Amino acid sequence: MEVVTIKTRALNLQFWLTALSLLLLPLALAGCGVDEDDAEADGKLLILEWSGYEATEYPQFYAPFTEKYADNLDEVVEYSFFADDAEALAKVQSDIGADLVHPCNSWWQLYVDSGLVQPIDTARLSNWDKIQPDFAAMGQFNGEQYFVPWEWGYESMLVRADLVEEVPDSWDDLWDPQYAGHVAIWDSAETNYVIAALALGFDPWNTTAEQEAQIEQKLIEIKPNLLTYWSDYTEAYDLPASGDAWIVAGAWQDAYAYLQSDGYDVVYVQPEEGRLGWVCGFGLSANTADLDLAYEFLDAAIADESMAAMANEYWYGPANIASLPLIDDFVVEVMSLDEAATLTERTVFYRPLNEEQRIARTTLWDTVKASP
């Protein structure tokens, strides 16, 4: 079975691409900036986006907008695509002229600090009061709203329950010798740093130099248990389906749902430390001149019917909590959407990283992989 994937978020982050793009940011801003007074509205939005979210291919994700412009949608929106958040940031820095960008929350602060996005006037969004407050708060910086959260999901341990004697219930169980040679972990510096920190009982976003050294050693010590580092998201389905991997760490909930629906005996673990969680959303370019059209698009994106369509298509969580009655029962169950009140208590959501933290974690991960 071919697993549908929308995006590969930060898959095997490319250290030099990220580092170079961040180091060149001041030059990009100085040389490519556009004065708001000089920008001219052209009646067409350029959206920097993950493949799989296009309004032209998935009009149901933006129903009020796409219904209004059904006769000339290709003339109203166009897309530039990115494969991971590092590429998205680099494209915005190069000033490709995007009006809207759709990064994930651990990258949001870099956009704000660099002046690449402008504050969102939530009074212009009729559906704003339906956004989950905790998600809305993630998009706030310096007392202003800079990002409109749209979709969210989990990362956890996906386990072939029929192949293990004990289903793990803690991130630290990934190091248990009983799973030797049958653990696959996502080739992501950011994710594995958080997993190791949680396994050691550390706050992943407030680590000391001594704790960082312990995290590095902890990640090296998992190697006897590893089958492989996975990078292509289809592997999160294929590896447990084949039986080669008993545990896939960092897997999203949709891989679990596909395997379960195909009859595999799988468990999507709720670790005692919490599942990891991600949120992605839209930012408004600092230089867009098509503000009215951009706000119209954003409001349509977070409308009840739009959010439910996205959730039902991809088995992701919607930022709009009022869309719940329109979402399939299966998706509600897989995502625990009816337990929204406890979501942030039982989920460790990624937080923004600054330039220094991101480069340091990528360097640490490269060191881990290169070690014997």
pLDDT, one tens digit per residue, over 25-66 is: 444 434 443 344 445 678 999 999 999 999 999 999 999 999
pLDDT(82) > 90: yes
Looking at the fold, whether 116 and 191 belong to one and the same domain comes out as: no
What is the residue whose two structure tokens read 């907008």? 65
Looking at the fold, whether 195 and 66 belong to one and the same domain comes out as: no
% of the chain exceeding 70 in pLDDT: 89
**In angstroms, rounded to a whole number, what is the distance separating the alpha carbons of residues 368 and 149?**
33
Give residue 6's pLDDT band: very low, low, confident or very high (50, 70, 90).
very low
Name residue 141's amino acid: F
CATH of the domain at 302: 3.40.190.10
Looking at the fold, whether 255 and 313 belong to one and the same domain comes out as: no
Contacts of 205 (CB under 8 A, 6+ apart): 351
Would you list the DSSP string of 245-265? -SEEEEE-HHHHHHHHHTT--
Contacts of 210 (CB under 8 A, 6+ apart): none
Quote the tokens at residue 275.
């599942």
Residue 292 structural domain: 15-152+278-340
Looking at the fold, whether 97 and 116 belong to one and the same domain comes out as: yes
- CB neighbourhood size of 201 (10 A): 9
Contacts of 104 (CB under 8 A, 6+ apart): 9, 10, 85, 278, 279, 280, 350
The per-residue pLDDT of the chain, averaged, comes to: 90
- CB neighbourhood size of 317 (10 A): 32
Looking at the fold, whether 159 and 146 belong to one and the same domain comes out as: no
pLDDT in tens, 187-232: 999 999 999 999 999 999 999 999 999 999 999 999 999 999 999 8
Looking at the fold, whether 134 and 227 belong to one and the same domain comes out as: no
What is the residue whose two structure tokens read 């067409």? 44
Looking at the fold, whether 123 and 164 belong to one and the same domain comes out as: no
Quote the tokens at residue 113.
């600090």
Looking at the fold, whether 328 and 198 belong to one and the same domain comes out as: no
Q: CA dist 96 to 38, 209, 287, Å?
A: 16, 38, 11
pLDDT in tens, 117-132: 999 999 999 999 999 9
**In angstroms, rounded to a whole number, what is the distance separating the alpha carbons of residues 257 and 345?**
23
Looking at the fold, whether 40 and 139 belong to one and the same domain comes out as: yes
Contacts of 127 (CB under 8 A, 6+ apart): 299, 302, 303, 304, 320
Looking at the fold, whether 70 and 175 belong to one and the same domain comes out as: no
**In angstroms, rounded to a whole number, what is the distance separating the alpha carbons of residues 189 and 361?**
6
Which pLDDT score is estimated for 17?
A: 39
Contacts of 350 (CB under 8 A, 6+ apart): 104, 105, 106, 190, 194, 276, 277, 278, 279
Looking at the fold, whether 166 and 135 belong to one and the same domain comes out as: no
- CB neighbourhood size of 27 (10 A): 10
Q: What's the total number of domains in the chain?
A: 2
Q: Which of the 8 DSSP states describes residue 51? A: T
Domain presence at residue 8: no
Measured between alpha carbons, how far apart are the two ends of the chain, in Å? 35
Looking at the fold, whether 100 and 188 belong to one and the same domain comes out as: no
**In angstroms, rounded to a whole number, what is the distance separating the alpha carbons of residues 240 and 184?**
9
pLDDT(296) > 70: yes
Helix or strand holding residue 24 (H, E)? none
Domain presence at residue 97: yes
